[in-house]
Structure 1
Amino acid sequence: MDREPEELQFLGLFGIYKESFKIILSWRKIFNKITLALILPLTFIFLAHIQISELIMSKLMQNEEALNFTRPNTPTSQRLSDRISSEWVAYWLFKAAYLVVLLIFSLLSTSAVVYSIASIYTAKDLTFKKIMTVVPKVWKRLMVTFLWSFVIVFLYNIVAVVCFVISIIAVNPGTTAGTVLLTVLAILYFCGVVYISIVWHLASVISVLEDFKGINAMTKSKALIKGKMKVAFVIFVMLIIAFILIQFGFEKMVVHGERFGMWSRVFSGIVCFLLLMQLFLFGLVVQTVFYFVCKSYHHESIDKSLLADHLEVYAGEYVPLRGKDIQLEQYEV
């Protein structure tokens, strides 16, 4: 990233995309290694989870259908009932294990990409070995931020459910007024989810580069986004649309693609895998570049030498940028 700090504030949607592509291409050897070590497993876990979940649910549905046509209180019905119970337990245990592993690789990937781009920004010597040394320590800070975002999303959903229930009770959903009200609430709910997601993603970058984590990182992120909310919203929605399209294609062509033949399913699976892997990498780079853009927009110039010093690893310990260093001096435009 060879732009001057004051130039970054003028980057719009396509400017951020262009800068992100440029960084990935210029440092493709480093990002290829990060992709193979962290993002490839993340992608495989996500897509494998879709396929395995479908197989387990198909078996469950078959057994439940068989149970419906079996005489109650017979040895056969008891065996089917026990089998169904065991399969449900296995299903939820699989889901829990999947979420834990997905979270670990997601946070590790975020740590690696954010640290790498910050090192590139400061013209700091960067090696894959150094990245993998720093990443496990940075990951702990990201976990705190994630847990806070999870609590916020949980509380937000509770409030949303209460609002929807009250609206349904107060206004008949079958009427025009009821339909309009529920539609407005759904739009507001979606916008709220997007906003929280944007704040969380930027807070993840802050947790790596600054001495903020958890709710403090979320608060800092909220302040940084001001003035760049429209760009952030478009970036996030476009990434989500691309993600949904890849997932839909995988489910359509691979998970439920028996009629297309084996080779077509294999080819589609490989294409979806490669596209999703690149999307994960691109999304992480974009959110880091967006962080620097927000800093520049608020006229906070990051001192490259200070940032480089705090990205160093002393005695194997990662030292985050302290608050007094990151509350950067204002520069004149």
Structure 2
Amino acid sequence: MEVSAGLSPRINSNALTRDKDEENESTDLENFEFETTDHSIRSESDHHFHSMSALEILRETVRILRYNSTGFMAITAVLICPVSAVLLSNVLVDQSLVKKLTLRLWLVAKSSGLPLRPFIKHSCQKFSEVAVSAAMCFPLFITLSLLSKAAIVYSVDCTYSRKKFDTSKFYVIITKIWKRIILTYLWACGVISGCLTLFLVLLVVVSSVFTIMGFPSDLILYPAMVVGFLFSIILANAIIICNVSIVISVLEEVSGPQALLRSSSLIKGQTQVGLLIFLGSTIGMAFIEGLFEHRVKTLSYGDGSSRIWEGPLLVLMYSFVVLIDSMMNAVFYFSCKSYRMESEDVEDEPVLEALTTSSGSIDVQ
């Protein structure tokens, strides 16, 4: 891929020059600085680097959102909101499939020795709903959702490059990198599916072993909960790696397993920050999903008029959380990249450049 200029993950406003006619238009952009004063400057005494914390990444995300609020709101309205509405309403989910899968999971849990308590039954039903919803909504995930992630990453990159979001340039870029984004996404789905499958198999094996050893079903629940807790941490790390790999597939010429390996290497030492980002986003989405389930699907007032405004409002709230999550993943990538380059004392490399100058002279792998 031919590029003419590179992008430094750290913004220095002193390097920005503008003609007098453009001073008013670029005031906000000149004042936009990537916060590195406290966390990414080499200390003369101990020669250590300090990366951005989760709170600093959130603050940086808000700064970027304020700078280009119109573009991000357009992405939210056009690409994120339709997917959020479908996910929250479960309009594509076949409840008969959910019931069948839930029943099978109950039978597996019972045969492995787990007591069919309300917690176990609810977990089986929730897992079935998520699995069926993911399968039914997969076409939306691999089109609108993936396109929204790419647009968000491109917008964040444009902010750090001191450029405005250009729809025509983004169209040219996405046509050239779409295959590698899809390949990376499919590998990420395979990794997450593999983790969930391994968890279910391990849970059944552990429960069966304790059953064979003669433990009562009430006591088997505790080692099963320990396995679930440990595996939730593993799954969270896998999701973080997969999220950053999508960002990498947009900004760098790697895809598939190479992007996953690159992501794992890039966030090494920064896993705690990624976990906090993932935890915050997950809690926010789960809270809104619970509100939608209670206020829109179950509860209504009189003729159900409350659903007319509560439903769209919760969809917008959910979409906004998804937007912030994607933006924070992009900022997290730039933070890790800046930290890695400074700690290794290497020069900055080009990350993403508009590919519209000469489409015939550009070769994207």
The TM-score with structure 2 as length reference comes to 0.69
Once residues 234 and 169 of structure 1 are traced to their aligned partners in structure 2, the CA distance between those partners, rounded to angstroms, is: 34
Matches within 5 A, 1:15-34: 15-34=56-75
The root-mean-square deviation of aligned C-alpha atoms, in Å, is 3.2
Find the counterpart in structure 1 of residue 55 from structure 2: 14
One-letter amino acid matched to 2:33: D
Match of 1:138 among 177, 185, 189: 177
2:350 matched to 1:306?
yes
When structure 1 is superposed on structure 2, of 158-167 and 198-207 the one drifting more is: 158-167
Post-superposition Cα deviations, 1:215-273, rounded to whole Å, max 9, x if no partner, equal 11101111111111111101101101100111111111111124565221222112201
Q: Taking structure 1 as reference, are residues 255 and 145 closer, same or farther at Cα in structure 2, changes over 3 Å only?
A: same
8 Å Cα contact 2:172/2:355 also seen in 1: no
Q: Percent identity over the alignment?
A: 25
2:42 matched to 1:3?
no
One-letter amino acid matched to 2:170: I
Match of 1:184 among 223, 226, 244: 226
Post-superposition Cα deviations, 1:61-92, rounded to whole Å, max 9, x if no partner, equal 9xxxxxxxxxxxxxxxxxxxxxxxxxxxxxx9
Post-superposition Cα deviations, 1:181-215, rounded to whole Å, max 9, x if no partner, equal 21210111211111110000000001011111111
> How far apart are 1:303 and its partner, in Å?
6.6
Match of 1:105 among 123, 131, 144: 144
Count residues with an aligned counterpart: 287
Find the counterpart in structure 1 of residue 6 from structure 2: none
Gapped regions of structure 1 (runs ≥ 5): 62-91, 323-333
> How far apart are 1:102 and its partner, in Å?
3.0
2:311 matched to 1:266?
no
Gapped regions of structure 2 (runs ≥ 5): 1-31, 41-49, 100-130
The TM-score with structure 1 as length reference comes to 0.76
Once residues 191 and 228 of structure 1 are traced to their aligned partners in structure 2, the CA distance between those partners, rounded to angstroms, is: 15
Once residues 266 and 214 of structure 1 are traced to their aligned partners in structure 2, the CA distance between those partners, rounded to angstroms, is: 42
8 Å Cα contact 1:311/1:319 also seen in 2: no
One-letter amino acid matched to 1:275: M
Secondary structure of the residue aligned to 2:250 is helix
Find the counterpart in structure 2 of residue 206 from structure 1: 248
Structure with the higher fraction of residues in helix conformation? 1
Once residues 178 and 40 of structure 1 are traced to their aligned partners in structure 2, the CA distance between those partners, rounded to angstroms, is: 42
Once residues 73 and 361 of structure 2 are traced to their aligned partners in structure 1, the CA distance between those partners, rounded to angstroms, is: 23
8 Å Cα contact 2:79/2:144 also seen in 1: yes
Post-superposition Cα deviations, 1:158-191, rounded to whole Å, max 9, x if no partner, equal 3222222221121136367533321210111211
Find the counterpart in structure 2 of residue 257 from structure 1: 299
Find the counterpart in structure 2 of residue 88 from structure 1: none
